[in-house]
């Protein structure tokens, strides 16, 4: 099955050039021949491929290459210069045992003699003696300059017969020698046991579990369990990276686990032990986690984590290969103690405070299909680390049509299959020949796909990969191990094309750690600080060059280079010329002064938490399975006022369904104690969605109007959906006014108050959210006018006939937009345009087109009105879905929300469609659509036919008759400024605003510079599994510059690190209050910061 790479048309100015085997002399291929005894149904990791290890093995200044072959012959190539290589496999003595099953290969100076050795991993469903790992110790060169190796794994104690994927050598205890983490995997599938059985399995040591060995005077001793490393049968390790993740100077370990088994983030406890902190530090992880890399991708000096999975980029493969959402299995995994896992690549940005924010989708690197190796490095020498990803799986093992066919095949055979049957099944699987991915770092947390532009988009099935400067010209070349095809060797042309200057740093460590593994190197040049940690074990089953290459753009000098060695010594080099190589020796380093850096006080400090009760769990997807996101449980009913007149702020906190609202009385100095819920107990079954506090009856005391929302199993007219009026006696005692409001019951999205009819009394605006069970149908909006004594009547038809068919309202506000002294009403909502009304005479009229040239339709969830550019005119800040999502929308490629009761069963079928690679496709899977629209089962008989259908052709024209569509053109959280003509124009916000859906915001001058600033909150957990939890907003602070520009503060600077769904933020004096759904109220004290005001 030897494959020839499919060649595309050559890009006009590629950064890389694919070198032919004739040119390089590298003819290696990793052949996999399927037969009765060797196929993917007998060994599931058949197509995981081999690795690549790069380093100077004969110390001639040129880096050599070792390839591992799963079944065939490993090959070692000596670099003879000018990108020419010589096969020295046999003459070097490093060929390894013949036959299966070799996996990862890495280099290490195992004995500290300055010569690189080779460690080769074995796996497979084989006898233990046939899967022992091998160590080839470098004994120096023969007279012809050929390095000579001797296999000595047993002597060193690392001839493990566990089924190994790869290895990482590092000094975990900082004693100066290199220890070993061995990444292993179980070759057998584990059933989905219940929580109790699973937790017991995780405690039991198993031969397939990963292993940690300590180097004790040249002999490696296993101490896996003693060190706190899991070594259970639930080990399916595919990726390992070592780095100082938390910045304490000690190396930590990230483990990528396949299937439902969770990844591990082992934090070094500095006492010989590790602690898995993945659920503390990361909000969610990849599901089928494969290769990974750890690097500082945004030049903030912190190590970020990237993991690979198998989510395709194109619609056809998504619909063919993705299994339908399985809520029961997902919940079972959570009950078993596993983390939240979703099938896509993950980019976890280090916040610097022990937490990370996952933004892979926003970055544009989440969908690279069945991916293996991830390598971050600055390939174009502009000072920012780019990303290379290998991709491909020889057979589409998870093709849903094939799985259905296989089930029928097995059933027909009565469950009794011969080897011939299995091979026939394998040959009936479709084959894939995919492209690898290359992404250029834009320097703003986003990446550009440059695979084709850089000449790196050849088809193949690629696995292990490594980078090195093979021709010593200063840029990094690429080497890739392919299944059934010749290895790719790409020459990087960045230096030749003048793309940027470089700096090469070679580390000479003391003692046994001769390459300085674990050293942190900082390069200061042109106002940018770059950081690389010396870790050659990256990507998948491979090791990269130990020589560090830094791109410095067009800078001709570096200000300084700092090398922080393991153990605390520091080397500082100043004013280095670029385009040169430097050797930095640990022996010449100085002890760090260890002067304690005084950390500036953060803007906010948490002073208290007021817990709240968890509301009833509601699954809106059971009522409307085609929803993309849940509707219920997103109430924002919190109000902070002095309700009892004692001068201290009190809090009204609404309850979720099954939880009563309550009053929490302030005691001063940020303290709260006594609570009272007496008046609100009768409405405990309602979900409080919003609250107004104003004097409704003219007695001078603040009363409460509370809206009810959510879908649940409610219906229009149910008492649980009524808006309620509670009157205050002035002492904080509330009583419900049974007849004060009209007797209407529908889910409320927003409440607002204003004098709509000009009689001097505050009236109530009620924005309807959704008709329960009929999303996206709106129940409409209401204006209830105040008769002056707390009695309200519905005057909607009289005052605002244009209020019909507005959409699903989520928030509202008033502002004088045209300077006439009268406020306009601004409405935002779910799948509706930003809408503006003005009062003309006695009537409120829709004037949206006066302020917007094009409809601004989004999943709007929050509205804040302020003057951030200090021009005296109001601006709009509107929270939206954000860009950290699979969804995409623009003016030219809007999403479509198509809805109708297509099969006339009384339930609205709402189908979201969005563009993928220039074509619009339905978002739900085949099973989801066919499960609701039954007549389509006869049309889409298999997954392939459904994968090919576009949104416009999903239904016939006759079937679409009487349907409705909303077109959504904006997903970004947006900031609108009035221009000279009176039109709103969108202005750019910091990219952090797009991390997650925004549901809450406030503004105030926080740093004392006279400019209003922004605080944002949000997140959305109730989403389809294919989308996953939106959780990257930990509380954001944007400092305003007084001209409409903003600067995002880090979590360390702001002091905010809130994990949860923020639904309301309130300011009261020096305090900032965050309400988190099903969690409670977090109270922060505000500090003026001199550092942040500069």
SS3 916: strand
CB-CB contact of 1038 with 989 (8 Å)? yes
pLDDT of residue 271: 98
* 984 found inside a domain: no
Residue 674: pLDDT band (50, 70, 90) is confident
**Residue 787: alpha-carbon gap to chain centroid:** 52
* Residue written as token pair 């196929």: 39
How many C-beta neighbours within 10 Å does residue 767 have? 28
For 1025, phi then psi, to 5°, come to: -60, -35
pLDDT of residue 417: 87
Give CA–CA dist 790/891, Å, rounded: 46
779 and 900, same domain (yes or no): no
* 202 found inside a domain: yes
Residue of 385, 384, 367, 383 whose CA lies nearest to 375: 385
pLDDT of residue 670: 82
529 and 661, same domain (yes or no): no
How many C-beta neighbours within 10 Å does residue 172 have? 28
269 and 366, same domain (yes or no): yes
Residue of 1062, 1022, 340 whose CA lies nearest to 712: 1022
Structural domain total, the chain? 4
Identify the helix (H) or strand (E) that includes residue 207.
Answer: none
SS3 305: strand
Residue of 273, 247, 492 whose CA lies nearest to 352: 247
Q: Comparing 342-356, 873-887, 1055-1069, 1080-1094, which segment has the lowest mean pLDDT?
A: 1080-1094
* 767 found inside a domain: yes
pLDDT of 749 > 60? The answer is yes
Residue 823 is classified by DSSP as P
Structural domain of residue 564, as residue ranges? 507-591
562 and 704, same domain (yes or no): no
What whole-number percentage of the chain has pLDDT above 70? 98
* 828 found inside a domain: no
pLDDT of residue 1091: 56
- 3-state percent breakdown (helix, strand, coil) of the chain, nearest 5: 10, 35, 50
Q: Which residue has the higher pLDDT, 201 or 66?
A: 66
pLDDT of residue 262: 85
Give CA–CA dist 370/389, Å, rounded: 10
Residue 447 is classified by DSSP as E
- The residue from 964, 984, 1003 where one domain ends is 964
Give CA–CA dist 859/914, Å, rounded: 14
Q: Which residue has the higher pLDDT, 166 or 907?
A: 166
User: For the chain, what is the largest distance between any 2 Cα atoms, rounded to a whole number of angstroms?
Assistant: 105
469 and 550, same domain (yes or no): no
Beta strands in 262-420 (DSSP E): 264-268, 274-276, 285-286, 292-295, 304-307, 341-342, 346-350, 356-358, 371-377, 386-391
581 and 462, same domain (yes or no): no
pLDDT of residue 677: 85
461 and 576, same domain (yes or no): no
Contacts with 586 (C-beta within 8 Å, 6 or more apart), sequence order: 507, 508, 509, 510, 516, 519, 565, 569, 571
In the predicted model, what is the mean pLDDT of residues 479-494? 98
* 1049 found inside a domain: no
In the predicted model, what is the mean pLDDT of residues 221-227? 97
CB-CB contact of 1058 with 995 (8 Å)? no
- The residue from 539, 571, 591 where one domain ends is 591
Q: What angle do CA 1029, 1033, 1034 make, to 5 degrees?
A: 115
pTM as predicted: 0.96
In the predicted model, what is the mean pLDDT of residues 947-952? 98
* pLDDT tens for each residue of 105-118: 999 999 999 999 99
Give CA–CA dist 514/749, Å, rounded: 64
82 and 163, same domain (yes or no): yes
pLDDT of residue 432: 84
* pLDDT tens for each residue of 38-97: 999 989 899 999 999 999 999 999 999 999 999 999 999 999 999 999 999 999 999 999
* pLDDT tens for each residue of 783-840: 999 999 999 999 999 999 989 889 999 999 999 999 999 999 999 999 999 999 999 9
Q: Comparing 7-16, 221-230, 307-316, 955-964, which segment has the lowest mean pLDDT?
A: 7-16
Cis (ω within 30 of 0) for the bond into 776? yes
* pLDDT tens for each residue of 997-1010: 999 999 999 999 99
- Joined together, the tokens standing for residue 871 give 């021009």
* 417 found inside a domain: no
630: CATH: 2.130.10.130
pLDDT of 772 > 90? The answer is yes
Identify the helix (H) or strand (E) that includes residue 330.
Answer: helix 327-335
pLDDT of residue 938: 96
Mean pLDDT across the chain: 95
- Joined together, the tokens standing for residue 636 give 């924002």
Sheet arrangement for strand 488-492 = 16-18, 488-492, 477-482, 462-468
The crossing angle, in degrees rounded to 10, of helices 400-412 and 419-428 is 150
* 317 found inside a domain: yes
In the predicted model, what is the mean pLDDT of residues 704-713? 95
- The residue from 442, 468, 499 where one domain ends is 499
Give CA–CA dist 484/71, Å, rounded: 11
Give CA–CA dist 547/475, Å, rounded: 11
Residue of 324, 306, 334, 343 whose CA lies nearest to 441: 306
Q: Comparing 119-128, 169-178, 663-672, 687-696, which segment has the lowest mean pLDDT?
A: 663-672
* pLDDT tens for each residue of 506-533: 999 999 999 999 999 999 999 999 999 9
535 and 387, same domain (yes or no): no
Residue 261: pLDDT band (50, 70, 90) is confident
pLDDT of residue 196: 81
Give CA–CA dist 1092/1094, Å, rounded: 5
Q: How far is CA 970 from CA 878, 894, 966, 973, in A?
A: 11, 8, 12, 8
* 815 found inside a domain: no
SS3 369: coil
pLDDT of residue 694: 97
Give CA–CA dist 104/44, Å, rounded: 17
Identify the helix (H) or strand (E) that includes residue 879.
Answer: strand 875-879
679 and 761, same domain (yes or no): yes
Question: Of how many residues is the chain composed?
Answer: 1094
Identify the helix (H) or strand (E) that includes residue 1052.
Answer: helix 1051-1054
22: CATH: 2.130.10.10
Q: Comparing 189-193, 214-218, 265-269, 704-708, which segment has the lowest mean pLDDT?
A: 189-193
Q: Which residue has the higher pLDDT, 333 or 495?
A: 495
- Joined together, the tokens standing for residue 281 give 């530090």
* pLDDT tens for each residue of 681-704: 999 999 999 999 999 999 999 999
How many C-beta neighbours within 10 Å does residue 738 have? 9
pLDDT of residue 6: 37
* pLDDT tens for each residue of 716-744: 999 999 999 999 999 999 999 999 999 99
Q: Which residue has the higher pLDDT, 1018 or 192?
A: 1018
627 and 572, same domain (yes or no): no
Q: How far is CA 514 from CA 315, 569, 982, in A?
A: 48, 15, 67
pLDDT of 962 > 90? The answer is yes
Contacts with 464 (C-beta within 8 Å, 6 or more apart), sequence order: 49, 50, 51, 52, 68, 104, 105, 372, 373, 390, 480, 481, 539, 540, 541, 542
Residue 8: pLDDT band (50, 70, 90) is very low
pLDDT of residue 594: 62
Q: Which residue has the higher pLDDT, 6 or 29?
A: 29
pLDDT of residue 5: 37
Q: How far is CA 935 from CA 272, 621, 938, 954, 1044, in A?
A: 62, 21, 6, 12, 53
188 and 275, same domain (yes or no): yes
Give CA–CA dist 244/742, Å, rounded: 62
């Amino acid at each position: 099955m030897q494959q020839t790479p499919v060649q595309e048309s050559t890009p006009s100015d590629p950064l890389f050039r694919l070198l032919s085997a004739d040119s390089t002399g590298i003819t290696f291929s990793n052949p996999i021949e399927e037969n009765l005894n060797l196929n993917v149904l007998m060994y599931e990791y058949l197509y995981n491929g081999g690795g690549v290890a790069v380093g100077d093995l004969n110390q001639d200044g040129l880096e050599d290459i070792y390839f591992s072959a799963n079944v065939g012959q490993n090959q070692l190539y000596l670099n003879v210069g000018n990108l020419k290589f010589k096969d020295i496999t046999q003459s070097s003595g490093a060929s390894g045992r013949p036959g299966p099953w070799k996996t990862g290969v890495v280099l290490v100076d195992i004995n500290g003699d300055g010569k690189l050795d080779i460690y080769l991993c074995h796996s497979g469903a084989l006898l233990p003696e046939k899967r022992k790992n091998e160590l080839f110790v470098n004994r120096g060169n023969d007279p012809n300059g050929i390095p000579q190796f001797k296999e000595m794994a047993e002597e060193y104690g690392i001839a493990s017969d566990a089924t190994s994927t790869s290895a990482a050598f590092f000094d975990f205890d900082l004693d100066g020698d290199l220890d070993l983490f061995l990444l292993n995997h179980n070759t057998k599938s584990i059933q989905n046991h219940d929580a109790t059985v699973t937790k017991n399995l995780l405690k039991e040591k198993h031969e397939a579990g990963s292993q940690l060995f300590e180097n004790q005077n040249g002999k490696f001793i296993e101490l896996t369990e003693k060190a706190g490393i899991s070594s259970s049968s639930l080990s399916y390790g595919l990726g390992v990276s070592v780095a100082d993740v938390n910045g304490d100077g000690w190396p930590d370990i990230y483990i990528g686990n396949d299937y439902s088994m969770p990844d591990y983030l082992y934090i070094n406890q500095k006492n010989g032990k590790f602690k898995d902190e993945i659920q503390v530090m990361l909000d969610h992880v990849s599901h089928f986690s494969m290769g990974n890399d750890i690097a500082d991708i945004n030049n903030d000096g912190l190590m970020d984590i990237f993991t690979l999975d198998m989510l395709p980029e194109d619609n056809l493969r998504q619909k063919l290969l993705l299994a339908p959402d399985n809520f029961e299995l997902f919940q079972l995994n959570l009950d078993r103690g596993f983390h939240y896992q979703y099938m896509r690549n993950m980019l976890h940005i280090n916040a610097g405070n022990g937490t990370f924010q996952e933004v892979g989708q926003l970055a544009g690197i989440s969908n690279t299909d069945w991916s293996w190796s991830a390598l971050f490095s600055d390939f174009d020498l502009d000072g920012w680390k780019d990303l290379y990803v290998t991709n491909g799986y020889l057979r589409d093992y998870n093709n849903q049509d094939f799985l259905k066919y296989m089930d029928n095949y097995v059933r027909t055979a009565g469950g009794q299959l011969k080897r011939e049957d299995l091979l026939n099944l394998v040959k009936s699987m479709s084959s894939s020949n995919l492209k690898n991915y290359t992404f250029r770092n834009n320097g703003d947390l986003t990446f550009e796909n440059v695979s084709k532009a850089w000449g790196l988009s050849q088809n193949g099935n690629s696995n292990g990969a490594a980078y090195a400067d093979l021709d010593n010209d200063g840029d990094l070349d690429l080497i890739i191990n392919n299944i059934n095809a010749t290895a790719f060797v790409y020459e990087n042309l960045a230096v030749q094309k003048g793309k940027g200057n470089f700096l090469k740093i070679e580390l000479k460590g003391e003692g046994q750690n001769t390459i300085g593994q674990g050293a942190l190197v900082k390069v200061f040049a042109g106002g940018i600080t770059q950081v690389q940690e010396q870790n050659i074990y990256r990507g998948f089953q491979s090791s990269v060059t130990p020589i560090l290459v830094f791109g410095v753009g067009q800078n001709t000098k570096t200000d300084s280079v700092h090398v922080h060695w393991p153990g605390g010594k520091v080397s500082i080099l100043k004013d280095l010329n670029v385009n040169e190589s430097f050797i930095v020796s640990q022996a010449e380093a100085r002890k760090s002064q260890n002067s304690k850096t005084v950390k500036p006080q953060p803007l906010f400090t948490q002073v208290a938490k007021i817990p709240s009760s968890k509301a009833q769990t509601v699954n809106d997807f059971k009522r409307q399975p085609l929803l993309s996101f849940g509707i219920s449980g997103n109430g924002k009913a919190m109000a902070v006022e002095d309700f009892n007149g004692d001068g201290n702020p009190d809090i009204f906190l609404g309850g979720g369904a099954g939880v009563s609202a309550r009053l929490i009385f302030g005691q001063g100095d940020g303290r709260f104690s006594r609570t009272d819920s007496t008046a609100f107990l009768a409405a405990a079954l309602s979900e409080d969605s919003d609250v107004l506090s104003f004097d409704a009856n003219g007695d001078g005391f603040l009363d409460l109007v509370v809206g009810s929302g959510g879908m649940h199993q409610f219906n229009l007219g149910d008492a649980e959906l009524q808006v309620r009026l509670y009157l205050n006696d002035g002492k904080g005692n509330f009583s419900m006014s049974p007849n004060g409001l009209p007797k209407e019951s529908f889910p409320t999205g927003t409440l607002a108050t204003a004098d709509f009819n000009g009689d001097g009394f505050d009236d109530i605006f009620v924005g309807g959210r959704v008709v329960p069970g009929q999303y996206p149908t709106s129940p409409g909006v209401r204006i209830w006018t105040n008769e002056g004594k707390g009695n309200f009547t519905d005057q909607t038809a009289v005052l605002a006939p244009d209020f019909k068919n507005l959409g699903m309202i989520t928030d509202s506000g008033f502002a004088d937009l045209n300077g006439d002294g009268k406020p306009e009403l601004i409405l935002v909502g779910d799948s509706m345009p930003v809408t503006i009304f003005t009062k003309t005479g006695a009537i409120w009229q829709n004037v949206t087109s006066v302020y917007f040239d094009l409809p601004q339709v989004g999943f709007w969830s929050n509205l804040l009105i302020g003057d951030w550019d200090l021009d005296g005119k109001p601006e709009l800040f509107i929270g939206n879905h954000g860009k950290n999502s699979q969804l995409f929308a623009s003016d030219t490629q809007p999403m479509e929300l198509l809805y109708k009761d297509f099969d006339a069963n009384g339930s609205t079928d709402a189908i979201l469609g969005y563009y993928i690679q220039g074509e619009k496709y339905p978002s739900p899977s085949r099973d989801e659509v066919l499960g609701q629209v039954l007549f389509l089962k006869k049309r889409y008989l298999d997954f392939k036919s459904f994968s090919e259908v576009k949104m416009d052709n999903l239904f016939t024209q006759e079937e679409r008759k009487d349907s409705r569509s909303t077109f959504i053109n904006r997903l970004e959280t947006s900031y609108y400024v009035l221009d000279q003509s009176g039109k709103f124009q969108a202005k750019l916000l910091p990219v952090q605003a797009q991390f997650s859906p925004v549901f809450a915001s406030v503004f105030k001058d926080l740093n004392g510079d006279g400019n209003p600033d922004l605080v944002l909150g949000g997140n959305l957990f109730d989403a389809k599994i294919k989308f996953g939890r939106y959780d990257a907003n930990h509380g954001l602070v944007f400092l305003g510059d007084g001209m409409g520009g903003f600067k995002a503060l880090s979590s360390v600077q702001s002091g905010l690190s809130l994990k949860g769904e923020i639904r309301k933020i309130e300011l009261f004096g020096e305090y900032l209050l965050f309400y988190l759904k099903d969690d409670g109220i977090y109270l922060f004290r505000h500090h003026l910061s001199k550092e942040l005001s500069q």
